[in-house]
Amino acid sequence: MSRTTNNHPAGEAVASPEWQQVVANLLIDSVAQLQRKRPGEQALRPDPDLWGRLRHQYKDSRTRRVLVVEFGEQRVFPALLSMFFAAVDVAHFEPSHLMLSRYESGQRTQSHRQRTYSRRRAGAGSLISMFVEEEVERLGSVDVTLIVGPDVAPRAAQDIVDLVPVPYVAVAEEASYEYSMLRFWVGATAVYLKSTRIQEEWRAAHLVPANPINVSDIEGLLGALGGALETTASSAVVPANGKADHRILLVSYFAPPTTPVSVQRLNYWHRNLPRLAAERGKGLDVTWLTATRGAEGLPGMMVVPDPGELRTSEDGWRFIEDLRRQEVDRLSASWADRVAVEAPSWDAGFDTIIMSGNPFYYFRLASLFKELWGAKVILDFRDPFAWNPRFNYSIPQRAFFMNLEREMVSAADAVISVNNECLIDIAPGVDVIRRIVSNGFNEDVVDSNFEEGGGANSDLIRVVYTGTVFRNLPLDDVLDALPEGRVFLDHYGRDYSLTQAVQSHPSGRAHGLMPYVEMVKSIRGADAGIVMTSGESSTQTTKLFDYIACDLDIIIVTDGEPLTGNLHDVTAELDGVFWVRNEPADLKRFFASYVPTRASRPQRASFSRRSQTEGLLELVLELEDL
């Protein structure tokens, strides 16, 4: 390999005013290169004080090494980054070759080294990652990785972070969602977007939040790299509250800042179980174990990163091979194995373990936790596992999951789910305590904003749909059935339907995903909320509780038989509930004559998260006495 000579010491550049101005210009040019200006975007404005401020702020990073992995067009600023770190190694991928470089103190100190490969070749993703692993081994250890454009080559990006197991920061090329990338995004200490152009699209499609890169966010990018260097993620157990006489460990793959509904459920438990226990004179300490790297540093959080399948134990690999043979999703299988390997070294002593899915594979840890600490184990399935109607399993796959589900439940002390129909479907025949703990509405948010929505408009009937529009349950027929000028629909949430009809329909408006508190304020002025169901008996949805909280009528549009299943069980005693078949003629007849109830329900408080969480606390205390 040919080399170039570096005229400055490796640890520090000459700090003359002229040199500082050169680097400041390099900073501006580099960020402009990363966030390519598009027509209509605001021009980048340099900050003349930025260079000096950043040099002082990140002076402690100059002994650390960064690996930059870049796919597609070159946009990264390795020379600039090398002014803040000891060295920056760059792996830049073009469609047919890999270029390798090293930068130190603002200069390239090792010239490009090229490796060729074929993207068409089977296993090209692994081949790419192998090249990177070889380069890291040749040059020495890496402290943090920056990956730009991982969505261009998802398999290669995932393999690289598995083979080079250090904290990583990602910059997404586009906003399109691919399930195969979920583990990658969850494992990043921070995710960024290449421009503001894709921010809203990303927010609507992804569970992991991300911010765009611009000239002011260069501090954020360096802060993310510095923050990644500071993450321990070594499963250091959160110290117990000295006044606590009972310790609970919540276990879930997802945690804040990710946004699935399950996170809202556990986040409420995490914050409020100690308070509710204190009202009963009980000292309770709650720790949350997760794979979500972005939760590192949040109070009461314990992060064990998902190492991927390349670094599993022999037992873990055997289970993963079983899943491979069944050709089913494997998300969380490698994480469950990592937790099983690390947990015996924890100085913990948890009294109760509450594991929540999905994914569900870490539910297999019930026996281990009981053996380690003598803990009581509660499995929160929320939805069915083996018999989930949304999972189109083959007969062999369903048999495999039925056996796995029975194994999980048999090792637990109790099972909870959101309704009775789900409880019946979970490991039928296994003798275990079963309780209903519904999601409920968040009274902390709803009640504090209860008066802010205002009254409904008596001239225009306003109906809302909150949450995701699924491909199999689009809103097209509902929208077409609304009498124009009399009934209007607002949608708050993601839209995965093929037509995304709300965006262009004259009787509808799409607001996209918004914070929960803002959504509550927006729907408070509506008349009714719509629930779409395909008719499965176990169907339950969080939006139902939000509609009850905001005193909205509930319009249940079903592909099945009206007045059946769990939705009927929950709403049978409530006023202002209407069922209609999901057929164009039925929908038109209903909305042509619909008159809003506009009345509060006396049962409202029983549907709150506080009420449901009190039921969970009672179960914890009941198991403690067994």
Give the residue with greater pLDDT, 404 vs 471: 404
Give the residue with greater pLDDT, 16 vs 487: 487
The H or E element that residue 585 is part of is helix 584-593
Whether 259 and 182 map to the same domain: the answer is no
What is the three-class DSSP state of 603? coil
Would you say residue 538 has pLDDT above 80? no
List the CATH number of the domain containing 335: 3.40.50.2000
Mean pLDDT is lowest, of 212-221, 248-257, 532-541, for: 212-221
Residue with tokens 């002229």: 18
Asked if residue 583 lies in contact with residue 591, where contact means CB atoms within 8 angstroms, the answer is no
What is the three-class DSSP state of 469? strand
In sequence order, the 6+-apart residues with CB closer than 8 A to the CB of 321 are none
Looking at residue 229, what is its pLDDT?
81
Give the residue with greater pLDDT, 330 vs 37: 330
Whether 22 and 39 map to the same domain: the answer is yes
Residue with tokens 């069980």: 569
Whether 250 and 212 map to the same domain: the answer is no
Asked if residue 64 lies in contact with residue 143, where contact means CB atoms within 8 angstroms, the answer is yes
Give the residue with greater pLDDT, 47 vs 528: 528
What is the three-class DSSP state of 352? strand
Whether 289 and 175 map to the same domain: the answer is no
Whether 310 and 332 map to the same domain: the answer is yes
Would you say residue 482 has pLDDT above 80? yes
Looking at residue 12, what is its pLDDT?
37
Would you say residue 216 has pLDDT above 50? no
Asked if residue 265 lies in contact with residue 302, where contact means CB atoms within 8 angstroms, the answer is no
Looking at residue 372, what is its pLDDT?
96
Q: How far apart are the first and last CA of the chain?
A: 69
Average pLDDT of the segment spanning 322-338: 96
Provide the whole-model pTM: 0.83
Percent of the chain residues topping a pLDDT of 90: 50
> 72: domain range?
17-230
Asked if residue 560 lies in contact with residue 582, where contact means CB atoms within 8 angstroms, the answer is no
Whether 569 and 600 map to the same domain: the answer is yes
Boundary residue ending a domain (172, 202, 230): 230
Looking at residue 1, what is its pLDDT?
33
Would you say residue 159 has pLDDT above 90? no
Comparing CA positions, the residue from 141, 188, 180 lying closest to residue 164 is 141
Whether 338 and 471 map to the same domain: the answer is no
Mean pLDDT is lowest, of 80-94, 339-353, 561-575, for: 80-94
Q: Per the domain annotation, does 365 fall within a domain?
A: yes
Q: Per the domain annotation, does 520 fall within a domain?
A: yes
Comparing CA positions, the residue from 20, 145, 139 lying closest to residue 83 is 20
Asked if residue 303 lies in contact with residue 296, where contact means CB atoms within 8 angstroms, the answer is yes
Would you say residue 35 has pLDDT above 80? no
What's the burial of 260, exposed, middle or buried (CB within 10 Å: 0-12/13-18/19+)? middle
Alpha-carbon span 222 to 227, nearest angstrom: 8
82-100 in b/e form (b: 16+ CB < 10 A) is bbbbbbbbbbbbeeeebbb
461-489 in b/e form (b: 16+ CB < 10 A) is bbbbbbbbbeeebbbbbbbebbeeeebbb
Asked if residue 581 lies in contact with residue 481, where contact means CB atoms within 8 angstroms, the answer is no
Average pLDDT of the segment spanning 454-460: 62
Q: Per the domain annotation, does 119 fall within a domain?
A: yes
Q: How far is CA 493 from CA 61, 115, 143, 265, 516, in A?
A: 41, 45, 38, 18, 10
Q: Per the domain annotation, does 386 fall within a domain?
A: yes
Looking at residue 232, what is its pLDDT?
58
Would you say residue 17 has pLDDT above 80? no
Whether 419 and 280 map to the same domain: the answer is yes
The H or E element that residue 17 is part of is helix 17-34
| pLDDT one-digit tens code per residue, 569-579 | 899 999 999 99
Number of domains in the chain: 3
Q: Per the domain annotation, does 7 fall within a domain?
A: no
Q: Per the domain annotation, does 125 fall within a domain?
A: yes
Alpha-carbon span 441 to 276, nearest angstrom: 16
Average pLDDT of the segment spanning 555-578: 93
Q: Provide the mean pLDDT of the chain.
A: 84
Would you say residue 231 has pLDDT above 80? no
List the CATH number of the domain containing 91: 3.40.50
Boundary residue ending a domain (166, 197, 230): 230
Amino acid at 315: D
Whether 294 and 197 map to the same domain: the answer is no
- Strand boundaries in 203-311, DSSP class E: 211-212, 246-251, 284-290, 301-303
Asked if residue 214 lies in contact with residue 196, where contact means CB atoms within 8 angstroms, the answer is yes
Comparing CA positions, the residue from 487, 503, 491 lying closest to residue 464 is 491
Residue 80: how many other CB atoms lie within 10 Å: 23
Would you say residue 423 has pLDDT above 80? yes
Q: Which two tokens stand for residue 587?
A: 């929908």
Candidate ranges 90-99, 116-125, 355-364; pick with highest mean pLDDT:
355-364
Q: How confident is the model at residue 21 (pLDDT cuts 50, 70, 90)?
A: very low
Q: Per the domain annotation, does 1 fall within a domain?
A: no
The H or E element that residue 466 is part of is strand 461-466
Q: How far is CA 47 from CA 32, 218, 250, in A?
A: 13, 11, 45
Amino acid at 521: K
Would you say residue 76 has pLDDT above 70? no
Whether 291 and 393 map to the same domain: the answer is yes
Looking at residue 123, what is its pLDDT?
41
Alpha-carbon span 329 to 222, nearest angstrom: 35
Provide the pairing of β-strand 97-104 with 107-116.
antiparallel
Whether 335 and 433 map to the same domain: the answer is yes
Boundary residue ending a domain (175, 204, 230): 230
Whether 250 and 129 map to the same domain: the answer is no
Q: Per the domain annotation, does 316 fall within a domain?
A: yes
In sequence order, the 6+-apart residues with CB closer than 8 A to the CB of 589 are none
